[in-house]
Amino acid sequence: MGLIPLGILAGILTTIAGLGGGILLQVALSLVVGPRLALAITAPALLVGNLHRAILYRAHIDRAVARSFALGALPGSLVGGLAAVVLPAWAMQGLMVAMAALAVSRHFGWWRWKPSAAVMVPAAAGIGAVSATSGGAGLLVSPLMLSAGLTGERYVSTVAVCAVAMHLGRFAAYSAGGLVTARTLGLAAALTAAILVGNTLGARLRGIIPGAMAPRIELGVLGVATTLALAGAAR
C-alpha cells in the first residue's frame, strides 16, 4: 500500500474509533523502510494529524486530563525516543509485535489494565516511552482515558491532545539522535497531508457510522496490524 492511501486510512480509522490508525501506519511502514525510519517518518506526521483532530474537536477537550498526561508523556517519550536511536532493528520490530498482540488481547478481554486516574502522570511517562520505541501506544492511552471518565467526543479529542504530547517528545528525541533528515521530513510531509484528509473524512463518517461499529473497526485494524508486525519480525 502506498504512503498516501495508508495515511488517509490511518486518519479515518483513528478519527472514527479513537485509535488503531497509528499502529497500522507504523507497522506497515516498518515493512518497507525498517522500524527506525518508520518511527522517524510517522512522528511529525502523527503530531500534526493529532493536532488537527484536536482542533476539530477542541470544544470537547478535557484540559485537566490532557495537562496531567502531557506532564508525564513529554519526558517519557523523550527518553524512549533517545533509546530508539540505539536499539537494534530486531528489538524494535519485536516491540511492535508485542504491542500489536497486546492490543488484540485487550480487545478480547484476555488482558486488562485498569489504571486509576490518580496515576495519570507516571502512567503517561511509561506510555510515552513505549510510544517512542514501538509506536501504537493508543491501546495503553485508551484505558487511562476511560478511567478518567472520558467517552465520545471528549475521549477522541483528549486522546488527540495526549498523542500530540507524545509525538512532540518523540520528534525532539529522533531529531537529537540524527534520525530526522531531509528525506524523512519530505516523506512525513506527504504522509501528514494524507492523514489530514483522512481526519476530515473520518469526522464526516462519524455521523454516519453507528457507534456500535467502532469496536469492530478497531478489531479489524488491530488484526491487520498484528499480521503485518509478525511479517516484519519474520523477515
| Choice between 136 and 172, residue whose per-residue pLDDT is larger | 172
Residue 214 has pLDDT above 80, yes or no: no
Is 229 a residue whose pLDDT tops 60?
no
For residue 235, the SS3 value is coil
Contacts of 215 (CB under 8 A, 6+ apart): 17, 107
Domain that holds residue 55: 3-233
Question: Is the per-residue pLDDT at 159 higher than 70?
Answer: yes
Say how many C-beta atoms besides its own lie within 10 A of residue 153's C-beta.
14
Q: Are 73 and 79 in contact (CB under 8 A)?
A: no
pLDDT at 143: 73
Average pLDDT over residues 190-204: 86
Query: What torsion do the CA atoms of 194, 195, 199, 201 make, to the nearest 10 degrees?
Result: 30
Into how many domains does the chain fold? 1
pLDDT band at residue 138, thresholds of 50, 70 and 90?
low
Grid cell listed for 160: 488527540
DSSP classification of residue 149: T
- Whether residue 225 is predicted with pLDDT greater than 70 in this model: the reply is no
Over the stretch 100-115, which tens digit does the pLDDT of each residue have? 677 667 666 676 666 6
pLDDT for 20: 65
Higher per-residue confidence, 43 vs 97: 43
**How many other CB atoms are there within 10 angstroms of residue 212's CB atom?**
7
**Average pLDDT, integer, range 12-29:** 74
Alpha helix segments (H runs only) across 87-212? 89-107, 120-134, 138-147, 152-176, 182-206
